[in-house]
Amino acid sequence: MRTMRTMRTIQGREPRRIAFLSEHASPAALRGGVDAGGQNVYVDEVSRHLARLGYAVDVFTRRDSPELPDVLEWAPGVRIVHLDAGPAAYVRKDDLWPHMPAFRDAFSRFARRDGARYDLLHGNFWMSGWVAVELGARMDVPVAQIFHATGLTKRRHQGAADTSPAGRIGVERAIVRRADRLIAQCPSERSELIADYGADPAKIAVIPSAVNTSVFRPMPREEARRRIGLETDGPVVVYVGRMLPRKDVRNIVRALALLVRERGVLVTLLLVGGESAEPDAAATPEIGVLRALATELGITEYVRFAGKRQADELRYYYCAGDVAVTTPWYEPFGLTPLEGMACGRPVIGAAVGGIPFTIADGETGYLVPPRDPAALAERLCALLADVALRERMGLAARVRVEREFTWPLVAERTAALYEALLTGRTEPDSTTGAGRVPDRVTVVGAEAVGYTRAVEAAASVPGGVPGGVPGGVPGEGA
Ligand code: UDP
């Protein structure tokens, strides 16, 4: 039986039971590898905080090791349920689609055996979204869906390199039609859902993701460097994230070469992420590519690879840096800019996807065009030359995340969406904040949830909200 010490009832009712479906991204997985990043963090944080609000949350994920128990008591009010679907071994996310009917049926068997009756299904990513709408129809319960990334955006940016299954986009269209609510993480994702997938705007709630401000918090640079054994007094630029071509760490290496070789600014670039704690090109091909590039550009001594690191250590890596950088080709939302900001560091990010929504350009860091090493080098130079500017921006960054991007806020907004869905209440438009909002937890609206400023900030980026208005070109920033 479930042990839920913290479980309270919501307005005197029995706790609502929520099934989080996340076929490849378990909260328990180590992060930083090719298939474990922001979605794992989202599922972990949102489920825990929903449980604190009184929901009973079961997270369903695929068993990818024979050692995993059927049910893992993960946090007060949160269980992880491992379902058999395909081999009990790691399978690339792009090869999981054929196992989704088995995932769906394993869910039904578990629910029967456990006697669990769920009030709502929350799908994550397109494959679990399909499972959620299938089950939602069978069980007659509402479905809230968050994609984390969409197939059309991926294809637009990756072209032939996109290894998603052929049917992905068609399945996504069906989910958009069938789900009761769609959660977009930023205005550009909302625009994409409408323009690319024909989503009904009334079904979309914009609920930005967040950062754990207790884990990610500022500390002095020197102390952080000592903790990770980084022996330099010079400037350090840090990148944290998965090592994938689309994250375009190559762009950062090229910018570094411009700094070191053309401007004489001797900067260390600290790169965190990969398949293993020891940076290893065999396990992480992108590390091999980056090493070769650094050699070609004559800057190997300035590039340090730290390998995959977990959240408890990441604070030291961010704080060891003077500036954090991320310049992907596209980014559905992007948690790492928020992590750098929470650590009190200015962040330079590519103006794509969710990044113009999180970084306040000129206030908490800078936005630069993607695939433009010269523009990045220019901004890095300005920041590295001005300690007062860095400190001011770092402080403003911390204040911004504390005000707008915390997981308790995400959980409140998600709970508001659930409650509106379960009680049939209507919600005001989530991006304009239209309508009066008397109670933060009963409706999802920009005024209610306090992120009007973030929406405005994104809209004031040159070229408007990335992705533009419905009908514009989605996914690309200024
Ligand atoms: N991450 C990590 N260890 C690493 C590299 C990345 O824990 O070595 C985490 C990072 O801190 C962040 C997440 O993985 O929380 C990446 O999320 P983001 O939204 O930035 O990108 P995604 O991986 O979802 O594309």
- Please tell me if the CB atom of residue 240 comes closer than 6 angstroms to any atom of ligand 1: yes
**Cα–Cα dist 234/225, whole Å:** 11
The CA angle 110-112-113, to the nearest 5 degrees, is: 65
Please, which residues have CB within 8 angstroms of residue 375's CB and are 6 or more apart in sequence?
368, 369
Binding site membership of 247 for ligand 1 (Cβ less than 6 Å): no
Mean pLDDT over 200-222 rounds to 97
For residue 417, the 8-state DSSP code is H
Q: Which of 243, 280, 314, 341 should be mutated for ligand 1, with most atoms under 8 A from CB? A: 314
Which of 335, 352, 359 most suits a substitution to test ligand 1, by most atoms within 8 Å of the C-beta? 335
336 pocket-lining for ligand 1 (C-beta < 6 Å) = yes
The answer to whether the beta carbons of residues 34 and 274 sit under 8 Å apart is no
Specify the pLDDT at position 370.
98
Question: 141: Cβ below 6 Å to ligand 1?
Answer: no
Question: What separation in Å is there between the alpha carbon of 211 and the centre of ligand 1?
Answer: 11
> Which atom of ligand 1 is nearest the CA belonging to 41?
15
Residue of the CA atom closest to atom 17 of ligand 1 = 38
In the chain, pLDDT over 90 holds for what percent of residues? 82
The answer, yes or no, to whether any atom of ligand 1 lies below 6 A from the CB of 37, is yes
pLDDT at 280: 94
Ligand 1 in contact with 347 (CB < 6 A)? no
Strand partners, 271: 239, 305
pLDDT for residue 225:
98
CA-nearest residue for atom 14, ligand 1, is 37
**Of 169-183, 291-305, 392-406, 439-453, the least confident:** 439-453
Pocket mutation for ligand 1, best pick of 31, 280, 355 (most atoms within 8 Å of C-beta): 31
Question: Which atom of ligand 1 approaches the CA of 309 most closely?
Answer: 8
pLDDT of residue 118: 98
Out of 358-362, 438-442, 458-462, give the one with best mean pLDDT: 358-362
Average pLDDT over residues 41-70: 97
If pLDDT is split at 50, 70 and 90, which confidence band does 12 have? low
Q: List the domain boundaries for the chain.
A: 17-179, 221-404
pLDDT in tens, 309-336: 999 999 999 999 999 999 999 999 999 9
225 close to ligand 1 (CB < 6 Angstrom): no
Q: Is the pLDDT of residue 344 over 90?
A: yes
Q: What would the DSSP string read from start to end of 112-165? A: HHHT---SEEEEEHHHHHHHHHHHHHHHT--EEEE-SS-HHHHHHHHGGG--S-
Q: Is 432 in the pocket of ligand 1 (CB under 6 A)?
A: no
Strands (E) in 332-418, as ranges, are 347-350, 365-368
Instruction: Give the atom of ligand 1 at the shortest distance from the alpha carbon of 39.
Output: 24
Q: How far from the centroid of its chain's Cα atoms is residue 100's Cα?
A: 23
CATH number of the domain located at residue range(s) 17-179 in this protein: 3.40.50.2000
pLDDT of residue 442: 25
Beta carbon of 475 within 6 Å of any ligand 1 atom: no
Q: What is the predicted pLDDT for the residue at 385? A: 97
Q: Is 122 in the pocket of ligand 1 (CB under 6 A)?
A: no
Mean pLDDT of the region 194-202? 97
Q: Is the CB of 375 under 6 A from ligand 1?
A: no
pLDDT tier at 425, thresholds 50, 70, 90: low
* HSE-CB of 217 using CA atoms within 13 angstroms: 6
pLDDT for the residue numbered 190: 97
Two domains, one topology: 17-179 and 221-404: yes
Tokens 């304009």 belong to 432
3-state secondary structure of 389: helix
> How far does residue 338's CA lie from ligand 1's centre (Å)?
11
pLDDT of residue 424: 83
Paired with 302 in beta bridges are: none
Look at residue 160 in the predicted model and tell me its pLDDT. 87
Give the number of other Cβ atoms within 10 Å of residue 129's Cβ: 30
Residue 455 has pLDDT above 50, yes or no: no
Asked if pLDDT for residue 199 goes beyond 60, the answer is yes
Assess whether pLDDT exceeds 60 at residue 462: no
Residue 472 has pLDDT above 90, yes or no: no
pTM over 0.75: yes
Q: Report the separation in Å between the CA atom of 58 and the middle of ligand 1, taken as the mean of its atom positions.
A: 23
SS3 268: strand
215-229, 301-315, 416-430, 443-457: least confidently modelled range: 443-457
Q: What secondary structure letter does DSSP report for 78?
A: E
Q: pLDDT band for position 11 (50/70/90)?
A: low
Q: Is any atom of ligand 1 closer than 6 Å to the C-beta of 238?
A: no
Ligand 1 atom index nearest CA of 211: 15
| pLDDT averaged over every residue in the chain | 88
Kindly state the average pLDDT of the residues 94-105.
98
Query: Which tens digit of pLDDT belongs to each residue from 244-297?
Result: 999 999 999 999 999 999 999 999 999 999 999 999 999 999 999 999 999 999
| 221-404 to CATH, choices 3.90.180.10, 3.40.50.2000, 2.60.420.10, 3.30.428.10 | 3.40.50.2000
Instruction: Provide the edge-to-edge strand list for the sheet that holds 71-75.
Output: 71-75, 78-83, 56-62, 17-21, 120-124, 143-146, 181-184, 204-206
What CA dihedral angle connects 447, 453, 454 and 455, to 10 degrees? 70
